[in-house]
Amino acid sequence: MFMHGGAFFSGGGSYAKVLGARDAAALSIRVVSVDYRLAPEHRFPAALEDCVAVYQALLKSTPPSRIVIGGSSAGGNLAAAATLVIRDRGLPAPAGVVLLSPELDLTESGDSFRTNIELDVTLKFGLPECNELYANGHDLLDPYVSPLFADFTKGIPPALIQAGTRDPFLPNAVRMHRMLRDAGLDGELHVWEAMPHGGFSLGHVPEHDEIAAEVGRFIRRVAR
């Protein structure tokens, strides 16, 4: 179950469908790509509730031990937040969660939001205006808005977290991994040298195959 990126404002419709088809081909698995509602017409918690609703629908036909929730950028936020909602509502937990360049901290408090300014070719200045608009007046420290601030001692499924050294969201990945490990949870962190936010976008590069291989291995490890 995959949630696309796009700063909560873009990436729906045919784009979400193409991403799902691409990932299904790369990983040789069935992918359900969630075409969640987008801001500014639909702000928090609309997209999050859409993701949870899709998960509940999947449970009618698929054992939770066979479902892995994943997302990229804003979709990584929704994947993590949906996993927290699933936990807090007492729903059966998915087998794992995959967070790719995840936007886990909408306060943008991490180091790389400063050190990687104008270095990343995808996001040069962060997304503070988009974050505020998406949050719709909710506290940016709310774990359902910024999953990095959740209480992980309550547990979540095994997680794979990926980022690049030029990604402003790198601190999100590093801090999330550290919090999972501190809570005694199963967390993997994979960081690629010189990779910008969301991966290399100009043509096909070997790192794309490496990421797909790691994600595929993780899914095979956790899904039963």
Report the chain's mean pLDDT, rounded to a whole number: 93
For 224, other C-beta atoms within 10 Å of its C-beta total 8
pLDDT band at 203 (very low <50, low <70, confident <90, very high): low
Q: What pLDDT is stored for residue 30 in this prediction?
A: 96
Q: What pLDDT is stored for residue 120 in this prediction?
A: 74
Tokens of 170: 């790198």
Using the 8-state DSSP alphabet, how is residue 35 labeled? -
Q: What pLDDT is stored for residue 72 in this prediction?
A: 95
Q: Tens of pLDDT along 33-77?
A: 999 999 999 999 999 999 999 999 999 999 999 999 999 999 999
Tokens of 185: 């949870």
Q: Of all residues in the chain, what percent carry a pLDDT higher than 70?
A: 98
Q: What pLDDT is stored for residue 114 in this prediction?
A: 74
Q: What pLDDT is stored for residue 199 in this prediction?
A: 80
Check pLDDT > 60 for residue 24.
yes
Check pLDDT > 80 for residue 119.
no
Q: Tens of pLDDT along 85-104?
A: 999 999 999 999 999 999 99
Check pLDDT > 60 for residue 202.
no
Global pTM value? 0.94
Nearest to 187 by CA among 155, 142, 210: 155
Nearest to 159 by CA among 168, 169, 148: 148
The stretch 200-219 carries a mean pLDDT of: 85
CB burial readout 132-144, b (16+ within 10 A) else e: ebbbeebebebbb
For 202, other C-beta atoms within 10 Å of its C-beta total 6
What domains does the chain contain, in order, with CATH numbers? 2-222 (3.40.50.1820)
Q: What pLDDT is stored for residue 107 in this prediction?
A: 95
Q: Measuring CA to CA, how many Å separate 170 from each of 7, 34, 179, 200, 202?
A: 16, 24, 14, 15, 20
Check pLDDT > 90 for residue 217.
yes
CB-based contacts of 187: which residues, under 8 Å, 6+ apart? Answer: 158, 159, 160, 161, 176, 177, 180, 181
Q: Among 1-10, 150-159, 189-198, 202-211, which is the least confidently predicted range? A: 202-211
CB-based contacts of 145: which residues, under 8 Å, 6+ apart? Answer: 44, 81, 106, 135, 138, 139
Helix (H) or strand (E) holding 109: none
